[in-house]
Amino acid sequence: MVKVLFVCLGNICRSPMAEAMFRDLVKREGLEHIITVDSAGTGDWHVGKPPHQGTQDILNQHQISFEGQVARQLVTTDLNDFDYIVAMDTQNEKNIHKLTSLHTSTKIVKLLDYVPEADKLDVPDPYFTGNFQEVFDLLKVGCERLLKEIQTNENASREGK
């Protein structure tokens, strides 16, 4: 089982949007038996709250379910429980690395590492910008490419490569 965790600051805008989008991709590919998805925030301000209304609106617009999602804070055990931890921006990536031990085999990346042609290094926080469409567009490309990477890696590991 491959476990993917998306991380942003408060876990109400970017990371829950990525979680819902990635879960939808996984489901459409019929890979729910191979890949699980979650999200968390490095801060605790919104713990227990549903995704931001802007996130809900854009996901509803694209008929992507976010049912049952509530904000939670990143915890140290996540670093060993997940295979991929995908940060939305540089600061959150740094915060994740502060929690890691030298022995973790978890792959920690930024989502926009999968979108090198983007004109930015970080997924902008729509909590502050209000631009949920821009975030959706960046996440769509990044999530599709992340899934391809996982599929390639899983096929290689099953073939003993």
Hey, which residues are catalytic here? 8, 14, 125
The pair of three-digit structure tokens given for residue 111, joined into one six-digit string: 């989502």
Q: Give the E-state strand segments of the chain in sequence order.
A: 2-8, 35-41, 84-87, 107-110
Burial 39-73 (b: 16+ CB within 10 A, else e): bbbbbeebeeebbbebbbebbeeeebebeebebbb
CB atoms within 10 A of CB 7: 29
